[in-house]
Chains A and B, each alone.
Chain A
């Protein structure tokens, strides 16, 4: 009898929790923040990334250092001919180090990293802060969010992303122009333990018009690391 009573209480508790989650109306911005926490740690971290693009035999290999929401350093490790072409991003300002010139040059933010992968696909792993979100649609298992740029100079002016309710995992994102024309579609998959949490390790980015143009971003490793501010100095890129 006691066991039955306990089971009943457990069942009621679970039901209460479930009902509570449904009942608590999260704002769109809060959902985006939770989604960012799923995608990457909020502390400074280092990750190794591979990018494979259709039509290219090369696999691009990058070492990415991120601190906060606005500092990212991307070190190019492969292919060999591009080694040393390191990218620094400070908020929406970007520099590229050219080994041959022995200097870092200011570049526009829209410069592609490899294939369909823009710099922003790797260097800006947080949507919150960059975009103002609103909920477009609520499905049984997911939200469809519309993210509008809240600052100039972002890689994508608008993003529509589907987020799984249960886990806050991003499922699919459409990268758009300000007017809503879809440029690329990104799919997040292969969740694995990275830096202490389950995170998407594979992002497939497809051109919205030319469907055969596809780039796959694979996160090989990710670890939390304390990074000094001077690591993100434009005169320290070599």
Chain B
């Protein structure tokens, strides 16, 4: 067994007294996996995610600038010639100008949005594209790419209506060649701005008498999860992406200490890999993510969720996930995450310890054991252990 895992994060912070809040964060990490012949790899990563926000005209006009960049110091452990992840990467996050009143908000620029009630990487949070360089293990919020958009929000009573317009197609950020395999994008749409546009509308309300919050959304968008098919002749993976329409319904309700959450989707043209993994098909697909969680104390939370996708051809993908965060004493937090396929033998277990050294410094170490035999959307991973450690500083 090879064990070469350690990671640490170095962050820098600046603060200007000129009513500017500058936020810098950097991560430096080294990850390792073993029992994988093809994917055995490790890397050290430095990540920087600065953020600057400034308000004008008594908070009515806001400007925000943020991006995500990283550098990977890559070390291959097997004899293959390719690097698993790119060395340098740069992604826009929030770079927009917004005009805000008590009732309205209008913003123009790149922006990271959020949708969904449940938690985890399976939830249908599909307004933004994602970074897939790290397969599906990158922090889900870090992985979102800011989308060039015009956004309008109006609030009335406890209701709100939001309009989204994204003029340029958000194509996948896909991994670099991996081991002896290469990836190639396949898409049947134009990537020119204003030719393939994405747009949507979201309505939300809170029914006070019932204590129920609901969100309804329609989104015309590009598929957000890469679907892989194997091209035997070229010995490569083809990554498929297509235009689709999705209707979303999300709701939550609190019952004492517990909160019940649900995200439901009905997608037209939902892509999925065929049984043989040699082709990609699209079909109307229903998605249901239902979860319940209990929080107590300042930092303790337990949540349990089920995730289901269903269509006529594609047999139901049903997974269950559980997550526990428990503070043993003030600076030490334990985390336990379980993800288990209910109709297959795939699983992902992770245990983590996070220790807050000082106010803004945090050391986190984790160990994961996973095997994805029949993962969603064609993702597969052999049985392996992964170790990770991170030291972070945030201002």
One digit per residue, 1 when the CB lies within 8 angstroms of any chain A CB and 0 when it does not, for chain B 301-326 equals 00000000000000000000000000
Give complex CA distance A234, B211 in Å: 13
User: How far, in whole Å, are A179 and B113 apart by their CA atoms in the complex?
Assistant: 45
Contact assessment for A81 and B360 in the assembled complex, using a CB-CB cutoff below 8 Å: yes
A112 touches B298 (CB 8 A): yes
B102 lies within 8 A of A231 (CB): yes
Contacts A79-B359, A108-B258, A108-B294; A93 near B158 (Cβ below 8 A)? no
Among B82-90, B249-257, B282-290, the stretch that binds chain A is: B249-257
Q: How many residues of A contact B (CB 8 A)?
A: 36
User: A112 touches which one: B155, B158, B297 (CB < 8 A)?
Assistant: B297
Given contacts A80-B359, A107-B295, contact A102 B114 (CB under 8 A): yes
Contact A56 B330 (CB under 8 A): yes
Give me 12 A-to-B residue pairs in the complex whose CB atoms sit less than 8 angstroms apart, sorted by A's number.
A58-B359, A90-B158, A90-B208, A102-B113, A102-B141, A106-B117, A106-B259, A107-B259, A108-B256, A110-B257, A228-B102, A231-B102
Bound CA span A116–B298, Å = 10
Would you call A20 an interface residue if the criterion is a C-beta within 8 Å of the partner chain's C-beta atoms? no
Pick from A80, A108, A233, A234: contact of B254, CB under 8 Å = A108
**Using Cβ atoms and an 8 Å threshold, which residues of chain A touch B208?**
90-91, 93
B395–A80 touching, CB < 8 Å: yes
B252 touches A106 (CB 8 A): yes
B56 at the interface (CB under 8 A from A): no
Q: Is A101 an interface residue (CB 8 A)?
A: yes
CA of A110 to CA of B258, assembled, Å: 10
Cα–Cα, bound, A216→B32 (Å): 46
B160 touching A235 by the CB < 8 A rule? yes
Residue of A with least CB distance to B21: A83
Write the chain B residue with the least CB distance to A229.
B157
Residues of B within 8 A of A69 (CB): none
Residues of B within 8 A of A55 (CB): 330
Complex contacts, A112 vs chain B, CB 8 Å: 296-298
CB distance from B3 to the nearest CB of A (A): 30
Number of B residues contacting the other chain (C-beta, 8 Å)?
37
B103 contacts which chain A residues (CB < 8 A)?
Answer: 230
The chain B residues found within 8 Å of chain A, CB to CB, are: 102-103, 112-115, 117, 141, 153, 155, 157-158, 160, 204, 206, 208, 211, 213, 252-254, 256-259, 261, 294-298, 330, 356, 359-360, 394-395
Contacts of A137 on B, CB cut-off 8 Å? none
Q: B213 to A106, Cβ gap below 8 A?
A: yes
| A-B residue pairs, 9 tightest by C-beta | A103-B114, A106-B252, A102-B114, A235-B160, A112-B298, A230-B102, A108-B257, A228-B102, A233-B155
Tell whether, in the assembled complex, residue A90 and residue B206 are in contact, meaning their CB atoms are under 8 Å apart: yes
- In the complex, whether A153 has a CB less than 8 A from a CB of chain B is yes
Q: List chain B residues, Cβ under 8 A from A91.
A: 208
Known pairs A90-B206, A100-B141, A153-B254; A108 contacts B295 (CB<8 A): yes
- Closest Cβ of chain A to B368, distance in Å, is 21
List which A17-58 residues lie within 8 A (CB) of chain B: 55-56, 58
Does A111 interact with chain B (Cβ within 8 Å)?
yes
Other-chain residue from A90, A102, A110, A235 in contact with B204 (beta carbon distance below 8 A): A235
Cβ contact within 8 Å between A106 and B261: yes
